[in-house]
């Protein structure tokens, strides 16, 4: 009868992880944007294209960020890049652009020419969508494609990243101006994590044969983009999203070597701070959590993190890991507002 009790306990555990997984999948489903949203985004993009081309016939608009990388949750703002070949400075173009948009009944048009990435912000009353437009940020358009291509390989990446982003927003750790991480950084953390599972769930696309290559600002961006051929890549690994969420937080809470390691999607591995010369503080770059940008490899996406916010972040990772381990209802507690 002890055997029976053990068996029963095992069944209950299995049941728990089953139920937990179903609950995470339900959260994931509820975050996916409905098809109408895509149509509205395209409607706004078409309007912007019309207005921009009147002034600059050669200019092109590209979507980037979460509306184009497949990691956008419902009701996200859209990020647009204006690619233009003119030599006048960005501020002038942005001010001119703001002028044009203002006169076409778009609302809250604002040119932020002094931001780190200068943009024009606006809201379209027709669709209710807000939008940021930047100039010639072609690297962002290319890294958007990389993220989208990774998402096509294994559905668990999108599931995991939605849960992690939702957690980060609920817990207030998705605020770069407060020293926590961008959504882009969190998605890279998820990709890297899935590259590291054994068996691996994602390959390292930049380590494979080049089928796509562009050079942007002297940076060669090259990788294998025929991802339809990789649809079965992760199939030997049977982990579910609940298990992956648990392991993800466990890694960032207790497994990661913050003192010496850099996570690198580019190489599909952990590399050392020393080899990147990220061991010293230079200016405001402290490198307290190191996430290498896949193309702009001198860029540490953790550079926004300071000695205060690193504690906040690590405490949140530990809280999340402990909830996954001990809480009777993780998929509620995990997302409780801070």
Could you give the CA distance from residue 261 to residue 159 in angstroms, rounded to a whole number? 26
Is-contact 83 138, C-beta < 8 A?
yes
β-pair partners for 270:
263
Decide if residue 240 touches ligand CTP (CB under 6 A): no
User: Using CA of residue 165, residue 170, residue 171, residue 173, what is the dihedral sign?
Assistant: positive
Could you give the CA distance from residue 210 to residue 332 in angstroms, rounded to a whole number? 43
Length of the chain counted residue by residue: 338
User: Using CA of residue 110, residue 115, residue 116, residue 118, what is the dihedral sign?
Assistant: positive
Q: What is the pattern of x (binds ligand CTP, CB under 6 A) and - over residues 69-88?
A: x-xx---x--x---------
Decide if residue 68 touches Mg ion (CB under 5 A): no
Minimal distance in Å, beta carbon 228 to ligand CTP? 22
The 10 Å Cβ neighbour count of residue 314 is 17
Partner that binds at residue 184, options ligand CTP, Mg ion, none, CB closer than 5 to 8 Å by kind: ligand CTP
Decide if residue 41 touches ligand CTP (CB under 6 A): no
- Of 24, 64, 223, 224, the one binding ligand CTP (CB under 6 A) is 64
Decide if residue 184 touches ligand CTP (CB under 6 A): yes
Among all residues, whose Cβ is closest to Mg ion? Answer: 65
Cα-Cα-Cα-Cα dihedral of 187, 217, 81, 71, to 10°? Answer: -10
Span interacting with ligand CTP, options 39-47, 60-68, 229-237, 308-316, rule CB under 6 A:
60-68
324: which 2 tokens? 């996954």
Q: Compare residues 37 and 154 and give the one whose CB is closer to Mg ion.
A: 37
Could you give the CA distance from residue 298 to residue 146 in angstroms, rounded to a whole number? 18
User: Using CA of residue 94, residue 95, residue 100, residue 103, what is the dihedral sign?
Assistant: positive
Residue where the block lists tokens 């980060």: 168
Q: Compare residues 20 and 134 and give the one whose CB is closer to ligand CTP.
A: 134
User: Using CA of residue 263, residue 269, residue 270, residue 276, what is the dihedral sign?
Assistant: negative
- Of 127, 143, 159, 180, the one binding ligand CTP (CB under 6 A) is 143
Q: Compare residues 68 and 227 and give the one whose CB is closer to ligand CTP.
A: 68
Partner that binds at residue 144, options Mg ion, ligand CTP, none, CB closer than 5 to 8 Å by kind: ligand CTP
Could you give the CA distance from residue 59 to residue 57 in angstroms, rounded to a whole number? 6
108: which 2 tokens? 């809250």
Q: What is the pattern of x (binds ligand CTP, CB under 6 A) and - over residues 300-319?
A: -x------------------
Decide if residue 140 touches ligand CTP (CB under 6 A): yes
Span interacting with ligand CTP, options 44-52, 179-187, 189-197, 221-229, rule CB under 6 A:
179-187
- Of 66, 143, 243, 309, the one binding Mg ion (CB under 5 A) is 66
**Which stretches of the chain bind ligand CTP, using CB under 6 A?**
64-66, 69, 71-72, 76, 79, 140, 143-144, 182-184, 301
């Amino acid at each position: 009868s002890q055997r029976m009790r053990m068996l029963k306990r095992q069944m209950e555990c299995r049941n728990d992880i089953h139920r937990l997984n179903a609950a995470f999948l339900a959260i994931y489903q509820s975050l996916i944007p409905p098809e109408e949203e895509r149509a509205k985004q395209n409607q706004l993009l078409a309007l912007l294209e019309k207005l921009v081309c009147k002034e600059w016939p050669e200019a092109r608009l590209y979507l980037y960020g979460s509306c184009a990388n497949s990691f956008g949750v419902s009701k996200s703002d859209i990020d647009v890049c204006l690619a233009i070949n003119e030599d006048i400075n960005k501020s002038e173009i942005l001010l001119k652009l703001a002028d044009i948009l203002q006169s076409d009944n778009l609302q809250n048009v604002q040119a932020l020419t002094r931001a780190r990435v200068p943009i024009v912000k606006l809201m379209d009353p027709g669709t209710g969508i807000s939008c940021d437009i930047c100039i010639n940020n072609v690297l962002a358009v290319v890294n958007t494609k990389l993220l989208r291509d990774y998402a096509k390989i294994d559905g668990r990446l999108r599931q995991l990243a939605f849960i992690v982003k939702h957690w980060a927003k609920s817990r207030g750790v998705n605020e770069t101006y407060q020293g926590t991480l961008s959504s882009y950084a969190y998605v890279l953390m998820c990709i890297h994590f899935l590259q590291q599972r054994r068996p691996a769930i994602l390959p390292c696309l930049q380590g494979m044969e080049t089928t796509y290559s562009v050079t942007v600002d002297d940076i060669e961006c090259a990788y294998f983009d025929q991802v339809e051929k990789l649809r079965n890549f992760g199939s030997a690994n049977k982990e579910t999203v609940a298990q992956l969420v648990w392991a993800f937080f466990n890694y960032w809470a207790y497994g990661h070597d913050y003192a010496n390691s850099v996570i690198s999607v580019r190489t599909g591995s952990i590399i050392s701070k020393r080899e990147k010369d990220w061991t010293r503080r230079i200016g405001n770059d402290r490198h307290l959590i190191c996430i290498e940008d896949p193309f702009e490899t001198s860029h540490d996406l953790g550079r926004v993190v300071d000695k205060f916010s690193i504690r906040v972040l690590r405490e949140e990772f530990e809280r999340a890991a402990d909830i996954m381990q001990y809480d009777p209802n993780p998929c509620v507690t995990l997302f409780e507002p801070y």
